Amino acid sequence: SQQGEEDPQALSIQEGENATMNCSYKTSINNLQWYRQNSGRGLVHLILIRSNEREKHSGRLRVTLDTSKKSSSLLITASRAADTASYFCATSYTGFQKLVFGTGTRLLVSP
Amino acid sequence: EAQVTQNPRYLITVTGKKLTVTCSQNMNHEYMSWYRQDPGLGLRQIYYSMNVEVTDKGDVPEGYKVSRKEKRNFPLILESPSPNQTSLYFCASSLNRAETQYFGPGTRLLVL
């Protein structure tokens, strides 16, 4: 399977703490994307990082990409209760006509 | 407002009764796709379309059909639904296969 894998599957933290989620994948990619899904709703795009980039920021989000280790991490700083959601990585593999989504990390941020 | 719309949002049906879930986008995107989401399995692609009249199978196409007669619309057809097609379905569109995908709100389907 080409599916990426997120780690951990679930994460529970307090408001104000940082949350880190990891994604590993298998073969060469064009880009890697992170999405957020609030319970039962559609996925919302967060960040896209290309294979020639190593780090990107968007507000409280920081994404890193290590192509040598075939892994990416999503860091949410100073988390809020509203960050409670599932987070998915999706990889665009070289030569494939689609994005492949991982199974997600469920993040719970408690007030 | 740029968006992807799906209808219906919720649907309960019985085995064998044909149904269609509509999907429409107003962003002039060429690429559209359908996913199903099941607990523990993440999102799996059912079908995708690179452009009008160009469609292809994803990872789990069995039991589904699609068509792309217009750029904005990409309906998902279940000719003879079965209980194992009970799932949460998402339509998505993007400029191309590798770029940011914009998702619809989802259609929750229950097949009895």
Over residues A10-34, mean pLDDT: 94
* Chain A residues closer than 8 Å to B102 by CB: 45
Query: Which residues are A61's β-sheet partners?
Result: A58, A76
pLDDT beyond 60 at A22: yes
Alpha carbon separation from B71 to A11, B8, B11, B99, B106 (Å, rounded) = 40, 20, 25, 17, 20
As a whole number of angstroms, the distance between CA B53 and CA B70 comes to 8
Please indicate if any CB of chain B lies within 8 Å of the CB of A97.
Answer: yes
Nearest to B100 among A41, A48, A100 (CB): A48
pLDDT at residue A111 above 80? Answer: yes
pLDDT tens digits for range A71-102: 999 999 999 999 999 999 999 887 776 788 88
Chain B interface, best mutation among A3, A99, A101, A103, by max B CB count within 10 A = A99
